[in-house]
Homo-oligomer: A and B are copies of this chain.
Amino acid sequence: MQDFTFQNETKLVFGKDKEKEVGREVAPFSKSALLVYGSDRIKRTGLYDTVVQSLEKENISHMDLSGVQPNPRLSLVYEGIDRVRENDIGFILAIGGGSPIDTAKAIAVGVPYDGDVWELFEGEPVKEAMPTGCVLTYPAAGSEASVGSVITREEGWYKRPLGDVLMRPRFAILNPELTLSVPKDLTAIGVADIMSHLMERYFTRVRNTDLTDELIEGTLRTVIRNTDKVMADPEDIDARAEIMLASTYAHNDFFTVGRLGDWASHNIEHELSGIYDIPHGAGLSIVMPAWLSYVYKEDLFRFVDFAREVFGVESNSKSDDEIARQGIKKLKAFYNEIGLPTRLEQVDIDSSRFEEMAIKCTESGPQGNFKKLQKEDVVEILKLAL
């Protein structure tokens, strides 16, 4: 195990109708909130009104910032920063999935920053952040209790992550009933994101990580089992609840302690969705198996464990190499079963921009920890994903 410091102050408010309590959660922080969300869908479902009523009950005024897109854009972050500054707003409340939450977090660090917020995504240190909170409607990104935000700059289509402990939301309202209407394809895309967050923590070269190995393996099994249930019956509220909780635990760093993860596959995917604007989760279900196949020989031990513990691959008379490959094969089969792509051609992407993506991905240096990836490695992984 590595030495570590860990703290997560995000308050989780989980259960039926909890969105009605959002005003009470915002009240200790401010009397004014910026509501950040995507489409008008939350108005049609009544969620928007519920939130506004709850805020009004606490005499909290609000302004809106709508129009957040998947792979959320920098231009809207700028707009949000201006709105907060001009109206002296004290709290940023996201309603939706990872995209509004990431947008809210980027605004939260941008407002007190004396410069272009994009500089923070390019490496300037975060020193201050406004308080944020969220009402989650889509379990996937885990942004509801994580340190991170991923924003796409339209100029050059750069998609970049930023993470700092100051950026964890102060609270996350998690009502599984709000996820009942998420269609199967989007559910699957979210699951790919959740599983990636777990696998990116799992595949570490650090040894003696016994407890967190067990916790990650158990969470992966839980996600797989409950995804199968939701696919069979999208109204299965108990399975939806498990997936919602797992999405939060997968990325809130409870399982990160003592490990050094590998985020190369996430970063390679960011180039894909940055340029082609495909859903992040679909990009991950393609890149992750390719990355696994490319690196598994570096440390067979982990991959043998993964195959056995997560997918129940039996070891009888198989070589470690065979066991490891069978684990990767089973992951792909699961993704295909739930309707996710595992090859680039399934989302109409060819090799024409591989070189460009590999250059952008490794601009700041080699990627990953499990194996340090140079530009050429990234091209090879993309080729494996074709």
Contact = CB atoms under 8 A, between A and B. Distances in A.
Interface of A: 1-16, 18, 207-208, 210-211, 214-215, 217-219, 221-222, 225-226, 238, 241-242, 245-246, 249, 254, 257-258
B14 A245 contact: no
A252 to B, nearest CB: 9
A214 B210 contact: no
A222 B245 contact: no
Contact of A211 (B1, B6, B246): B246
- This protein's copies in its complex: 2
A278 to B, nearest CB: 29
A318 to B, nearest CB: 21
A26 to B, nearest CB: 15
Given A215-B215, A257-B12, A208 B242 contact: yes
A12 B4 contact: yes
B211 A258 contact: no
Contact of A1 (B214, B219, B221, B238): B238
B208 A238 contact: yes
Given A211-B222, A214-B219, A219-B214, A241 B7 contact: no
A363 B306 CA distance: 50
A16 to B, nearest CB: 6
A242 B211 contact: yes
Contact of A6 (B6, B14, B207): B14
Contacts of A242: 1, 208, 210-211
A12 B5 contact: yes
Given A214-B219, A245-B211, A257-B245, A4 B15 contact: yes
Contacts of A14: 1, 3-6, 257-258
A242 B210 CA distance: 7
Contacts of A3: 14-16, 18
Contacts of A4: 12, 14-15
Given A208-B242, A221-B214, A238-B208, A6 B11 contact: yes
B218 A214 contact: yes
A210 B208 CA distance: 26
B5 A13 contact: yes
Contacts of A222: 210-211, 214
Nearest 9 A/B pairs, CB to CB: A3-B15, A214-B218, A208-B238, A7-B11, A6-B12, A211-B222, A218-B218, A9-B9, A210-B242
A221 B246 CA distance: 20
